[in-house]
Amino acid sequence: MDRIGGAVGNPADVLNVRMQNDLSLPAEQRRNYKHAFDGLIRLIREEGWSALTKGLIANTSRGVLMTAGQLASYDEFKGLLLKSKLMGDNLATHFTASFMAGFVATTMYFWARWDLTNG
């Protein structure tokens, strides 16, 4: 499912990165999209449909790895919370374990992304 979500959301990610990066480009290289729909239309018109798939493998891989990390750490955190007797098997335990797993997965993703781009 993560691969499907990554593929569906990829065009929005391409536009998001371009729109955020636009001001760092020299004036003559800026795209100056008016809004997301303008960017989408111009992207397809100027670069073709294949431009919507730029970064697709990286995005889908990120989704798969983040989900795998989140699922594994969720089970660990839930087990630790239950073993510690601080919490019973209830909604609060599931929420806390989910929150902690999401934090770990997100932190690992941003650390890896920063390390790969700046390392």
What are the extents of the domains in the chain? 1-54, 57-119
Window from 13-17, 24-28, 42-46, 83-87 with minimum mean pLDDT? 13-17
Q: What is the pLDDT of residues 56-100, one digit of tens each?
A: 887 787 778 888 888 889 999 999 999 998 899 999 999 999 999
Look at residue 119 in the predicted model and tell me its pLDDT.
Answer: 45
Phi-psi region of 32 (alpha: psi -120 to 50; beta: other; left: phi over 0): left
10: amino acid identity, one letter: N
Structure tokens, 73 = 């750490």
Q: DSSP assignment of 55-96, as one string?
A: THHHHHHHHHHHHHHHHHHHHHHHHHHHHTTSS-SSHHHHHH
